[in-house]
């Protein structure tokens, strides 16, 4: 009992680490293999997180970590060196949805890792408080985690502990952290659990079956299983049965989700490792809606996660109709054109004989819609003005009884031609300019939404299928 108490004792506040560079402020978390502190990097006053490795079978004497049994000796020697090596590899990886590792060092007979301090609820805390996410929010988070995993896999590392508790919701989206179980992979993308990892199986429900063995092969497909289990939790607010229970015959409860999502989860949560998608990119292709093109270049996401998941062909020709029995529609807080997050004071105005309505939009889409309308109005204005000019010119030429009247008629015709071709060129230039503002996920340059009322029902027509699906879900009680 005394040894257990010693092992659980954190370092005192104000303790200096890293040759005096860091000052501990408070304990902010702990797990089975270490204690995490909030700390201050004194030279820049930057707040960071510092992980102190405290392995099973180890205790503390003053500030030093000491071995108290055979397990402690095994972990401290083999796993301590592994943490140092893999932290160096993690330091070289920069990705917006992966917690940054700054440095690592030995001190107090153990290993410390300084990393980015992230603030916000974990995905697990968010779901516990708010309930299951809607389809698009869940896919956004899953895409962000997929990007982080793709970055790890690109550097021949596997995470092996993906779960909602290990992802924090921040201003830049979901960020993956906790690298306790990270392992290297060889060129065949397979790693084998070292003896020093015996018992480190991750979390039931999220750990794949191969995590329970000492010599079972593991690789990117192991992270696919955990990512699939995490997406299952985001969509259903419940943890899937553990791999051990499922192997014993426990069924995976079905969720009320779209068929393509059900198929994607079923593939990712296959018990045999070789029956799953071999990469997070392949898994992401399975969950991408049928109306969107499959994305295969997720090795290194340089765009936002929801753009990766939702990118649609520019100027999609489909129109997706939603008919409501109620006039007060509820709108997803996404841009109805590109499906990115809606911005304040950027509503898209929808004019119809039934009245004016305002739909969430973004400044970028308002810009290309405005320029496209200018192109149409400029062309129309020029064509409209050239008609009376040509008419006047033709009349003067037809009724001319002098060279001066004939000349005036020809002049009117020339002016009409000049106005017409100037308007055409103006419209072409404006249309080209509008094209420059279009993003890959924009669905229409001018009119992504239309609205009408036929006296009985309210008819909304969208050119963005994802927005139409979310709109339909939000207004489900009133959908015809």
Q: What Cα–Cα distance (Å) separates residue 124 from each residue in 165, 174, 233, 337?
A: 5, 11, 8, 31
The pLDDT value given to residue 375: 62
The pLDDT value given to residue 419: 85
In terms of phi and psi (left: phi > 0; alpha: psi -120 to 50; beta: otherwise), the region of 33 is alpha
Q: Where in the chain is the domain with CATH 3.30.200.20?
A: 2-116
Overall fold of domain 123-310 = Transferase(Phosphotransferase); domain 1 (1.10.510)
The pLDDT value given to residue 275: 94
pLDDT per residue as tens digits for the range 1-50: 334 434 568 999 999 999 999 999 999 988 777 899 999 999 999 999 99
∠ CA 317-318-319, nearest 5°, is 120
The pLDDT value given to residue 98: 96
Two tokens, residue 144: 């962000």
In terms of phi and psi (left: phi > 0; alpha: psi -120 to 50; beta: otherwise), the region of 19 is left
Number of Cα atoms under 13 Å in the Cβ half of residue 203: 20
Two tokens, residue 338: 């590109």
**Three-state SS for 304?**
coil
The pLDDT value given to residue 277: 94
Two tokens, residue 138: 């869940």
The pLDDT value given to residue 272: 95
The CATH code for residues 2-116 is 3.30.200.20
At residue 441, φ and ψ (nearest 5 deg) are -95, 0
State the Cα–Cα distance between residues 188 and 181, nearest whole angstrom. Answer: 19
Q: What is the DSSP string of 419-479?
A: HHHHHHHHHHHHHHHHHHH--TT---SS-SEEEEE-SS-EEEEES-HHHHHHHHHHTGGGB
The pLDDT value given to residue 103: 95
pLDDT per residue as tens digits for the range 173-215: 999 999 888 888 754 444 444 434 444 567 899 999 999 887 7
Q: What is the DSSP string of 397-430?
A: HHT--SHHHHHHHHHHHHHHHHHHHHHHHHHHHH
Q: Among all chains, which residue has been given the structure tokens 């109709």?
A: 321
CB atoms within 10 A of CB 369: 23
State the Cα–Cα distance between residues 269 and 461, nearest whole angstrom. Answer: 37
State the Cα–Cα distance between residues 34 and 154, nearest whole angstrom. Answer: 27
For the chain, list residues with pLDDT below 50. 1-6, 187-199, 291-317
């Amino acid at each position: 009992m005394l040894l257990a108490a010693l092992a659980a004792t954190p370092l005192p506040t104000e303790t200096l680490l890293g040759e005096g560079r860091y000052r501990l402020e408070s304990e902010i978390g702990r797990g089975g293999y270490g204690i995490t502190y909030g700390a201050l990097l004194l030279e820049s006053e930057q707040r960071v997180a510092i992980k102190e490795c405290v392995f099973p079978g180890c205790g503390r004497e003053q500030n030093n970590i000491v071995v108290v049994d055979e397990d402690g000796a095994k972990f401290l020697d083999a796993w301590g060196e592994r943490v140092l090596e893999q932290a160096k590899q993690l330091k070289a990886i920069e990705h917006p949805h992966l917690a940054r590792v700054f440095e690592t060092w030995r001190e107090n007979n153990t290993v410390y890792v300084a990393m980015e301090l992230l603030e916000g609820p974990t995905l697990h805390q968010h779901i516990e408080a708010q309930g299951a996410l809607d389809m698009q929010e869940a896919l956004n988070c899953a895409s962000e985690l997929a990007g982080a995993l793709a970055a790890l896999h690109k550097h021949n590392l596997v995470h092996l502990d993906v779960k909602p508790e290990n992802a924090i919701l921040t201003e830049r989206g979901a960020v993956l952290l906790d690298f306790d179980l990270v392992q290297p992979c060889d060129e065949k993308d397979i790693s084998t659990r070292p003896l020093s990892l015996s018992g480190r199986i991750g979390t039931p429900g999220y750990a794949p079956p191969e995590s329970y063995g000492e010599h079972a092969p593991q690789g990117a497909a192991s992270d696919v299983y955990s990512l699939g289990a995490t997406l299952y939790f985001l969509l259903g607010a419940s943890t899937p049965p553990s791999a051990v229970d499922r192997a014993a015959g426990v069924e995976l409860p079905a969720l009320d989700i779209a068929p393509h999502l059900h198929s994607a989860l079923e593939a990712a949560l296959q018990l045999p490792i070789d029956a799953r998608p071999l990469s997070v990119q392949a898994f992401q292709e399975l969950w991408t809606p049928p109306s969107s093109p499959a994305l295969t270049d997720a090795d290194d996401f340089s765009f936002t996660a929801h753009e990766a998941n939702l990118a649609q062909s520019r100027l999609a020709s489909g129109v997706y109709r939603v008919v409501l029995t109620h006039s007060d529609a509820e709108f997803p807080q996404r841009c109805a054109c590109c499906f990115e997050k809606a911005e304040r004071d950027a509503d898209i105005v929808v004019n119809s004989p039934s009245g004016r309505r305002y739909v969430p939009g973004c400044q970028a889409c308002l810009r290309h819609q405005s320029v496209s309308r200018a192109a149409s109005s400029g062309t129309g204005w020029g064509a409209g003005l050239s008609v009376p000019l040509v008419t006047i010119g033709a009349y003067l030429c037809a009724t001319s009884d002098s060279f001066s009247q004939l000349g005036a008629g020809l002049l009117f015709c020339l002016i009409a031609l000049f106005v017409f071709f100037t308007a055409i060129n103006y419209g072409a230039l404006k249309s080209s300019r509008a094209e420059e503002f279009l993003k890959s996920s924009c669905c229409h340059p001018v009119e992504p939404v239309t609205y009408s009322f036929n006296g009985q029902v309210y008819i909304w027509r969208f050119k963005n299928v994802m927005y139409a699906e979310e709109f339909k879900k939000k207004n489900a009680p009133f959908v015809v």
